[in-house]
Each structure stands twice: as C-alpha cells, then as structure tokens.
C-alpha cells in the first residue's frame, strides 16, 4: 500500500507552540510514523509548500491512499489540483480526510455540499466517540460501546454533508453537541472516509483508539487491486446478445 500523508503545514500563531511540542515532525510526520509501523506500507509525506502544493500528478498516481489534513488555508489549494485529486478518487484512490479538512475544497467537491458548515468550539472538552457500526472494518479492534478522547476541539451538527453511505462513529461532546464524526462514502471507484477528531493542540493522534481507527481507515480506503486502466464505460454500445426472444 502506497500512502501519502499530506498536511497544510501552516500552523496558526496561537496553536504553533503546542503543535510544535506535540508534533515536532508536523502532523504529516506523526501520521507517517504511525503508518510506517505497518510492514506493507510505503509512506511518503507532502506539504502545501511543496511543488504543485504537494499534490503533484506523480505523487497522486503513486498513492493508493491519501491521508489529508488541511485547516484555515484550504482556499489556497488551486482548483486544478482539486480536479486532479477528485479524478484520482473517481479512478479508485482512497482518501482519508481528518479534522479541519472538513472545510477543504476536495471534500466539498466530492460531497457536493458546503462541508465547511458545522459548529465548533475550542474549550478543552472531552469527546465521547460512539461505535454506531461495530462490525465495520474501520471499527475493528475497538472494544466497548464508545471511547473517550480526554480533550479535543468540539465540532457539532448541523454538519452539511450528504448522509454517509456508512456511518461508523458518532461523537457527543462534553458541551452537549453531537456530530456524525466517522463517515464513509463511495465516489466513482474510490472510497472516502472523514474522521473529525484531531485538533492540532491536543495529542489526539497518539491515542491508541484513534491510531487503530487511522490504520483501519487506510486499509478500508485502499483499492483492492490496482488497475492501469478501467473499461471505457462511457460509450454507445451494441447489444451483447443479438438473438431476438422467440
């Protein structure tokens, strides 16, 4: 499995110190470290400051799955790179979108809605992540009905996403909000998973349950087989069986 960990890499001034302490190699670096523990994963990282915004055709053609973390600078990713990402998803590449990537252009493009719409609050609140599809592969290895993230940013409904094809997690926050927090969609030949946890000033991506979810998510999103080309489905066709019914 070829995995590309992509990060916006422009910490907000108020978050920079905590982020540097928690994720000295950047969020992309911490994620890459996790995935590199898997013997069958080849992992590369990219950031918005790289050529082609870290989303070059070469990288996207290489990747089976992109793990994507964007934040306030989501508008800076050019539409042409969003087109390329979308095309690769439709061709079968997996996409795992984390936390503030809810606002990203690529998420909105793939969903057809204003995915940046939700409520939020940074208030050190606990989050209770409920398993609402315990048999789903992304929930594999998690025990119990829920787990608790001791502190994270609170996100809440209404979240403007289409109803997920598979709803895996629901999160309730200390302050009372609820969020569809772990959601799967199929788009073309590709698979998309959004997971809301992981504000950059909390050590969320070191929590064992969250790491289990991330490892499961990239496996779920990875195409079962790699095809160099798909059939030309969009064409006018002759009948397969010409004999008339007698």
| Binding stretches for Zn ion (CB under 5 A) | 100, 153, 199
* d(C-alpha 222, C-alpha 95), whole Å: 9
118 vs 222 by CB, closer to Zn ion: 118
Quote the least distance from Cβ 191 to Zn ion, whole Å: 24
Whether the Cβ atoms of residue 5 and residue 96 lie closer than 8 Å to each other: no
153 vs 177 by CB, closer to Zn ion: 153
Quote the least distance from Cβ 99 to Zn ion, whole Å: 6
Quote the least distance from Cβ 144 to Zn ion, whole Å: 26
Q: Which two tokens stand for residue 115?
A: 């995915």
What 224-230 contacts at long range (C-beta under 8 Å, 24+ apart), as own/partner pairs, is 226/64, 226/92, 227/92, 230/91, 230/92, 230/189
108 vs 154 by CB, closer to Zn ion: 154
* d(C-alpha 228, C-alpha 23), whole Å: 37
Quote the least distance from Cβ 25 to Zn ion, whole Å: 19
153 vs 209 by CB, closer to Zn ion: 153
Quote the least distance from Cβ 153 to Zn ion, whole Å: 4
Quote the least distance from Cβ 189 to Zn ion, whole Å: 31
84 vs 98 by CB, closer to Zn ion: 98
Quote the least distance from Cβ 170 to Zn ion, whole Å: 19
101 vs 216 by CB, closer to Zn ion: 101
Whether the Cβ atoms of residue 47 and residue 77 lie closer than 8 Å to each other: no
62 vs 120 by CB, closer to Zn ion: 120
Please identify the residue of the shown chain whose CB is closest to the bound Zn ion: 199
Q: Which two tokens stand for residue 46?
A: 């990219």
Whether the Cβ atoms of residue 113 and residue 161 lie closer than 8 Å to each other: yes
Whether the Cβ atoms of residue 190 and residue 95 lie closer than 8 Å to each other: yes
**Residue 178, number of CB atoms within 10 A of its CB:** 15
Q: What is the DSSP pairing of strand 2-7 with strand 65-69? A: parallel
Respond yes or no on whether the N-terminal peptide bond of residue 9 is cis (omega within 30° of 0). Answer: no
């Amino acid at each position: 499995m070829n995995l590309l960990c992509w990060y916006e890499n422009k910490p907000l001034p108020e978050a920079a110190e905590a982020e540097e302490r928690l994720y000295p190699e950047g969020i992309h670096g911490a994620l890459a470290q996790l995935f590199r523990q898997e013997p069958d994963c080849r992992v590369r990282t990219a950031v918005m400051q790289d050529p082609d915004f870290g989303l070059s055709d070469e990288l996207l053609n290489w990747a089976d799955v992109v793990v994507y973390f964007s934040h306030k600078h989501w508008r800076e990713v050019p539409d042409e790179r969003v087109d390329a990402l979308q095309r690769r998803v439709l061709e079968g590449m997996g996409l795992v979108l984390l936390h503030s990537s809810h606002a990203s252009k690529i998420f909105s493009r793939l969903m057809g809605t204003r995915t940046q719409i939700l409520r939020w609050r940074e208030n050190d609140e606990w989050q209770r992540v409920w398993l609402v599809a315990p048999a789903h592969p992304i929930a594999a290895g998690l025990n119990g009905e829920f787990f608790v993230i001791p502190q994270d940013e609170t996100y809440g409904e209404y979240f403007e996403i289409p109803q997920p094809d598979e709803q895996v997690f629901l999160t309730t926050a200390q302050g009372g909000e609820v969020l569809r927090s772990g959601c799967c969609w199929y788009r073309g030949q590709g698979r998309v998973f959004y997971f809301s946890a992981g504000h950059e000033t909390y050590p969320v991506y070191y929590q064992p349950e969250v790491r289990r979810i991330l490892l499961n998510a990239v496996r779920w999103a990875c195409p079962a087989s790699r095809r160099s080309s798909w059939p030309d489905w969009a064409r006018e066709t002759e009948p397969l069986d010409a004999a008339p019914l007698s």
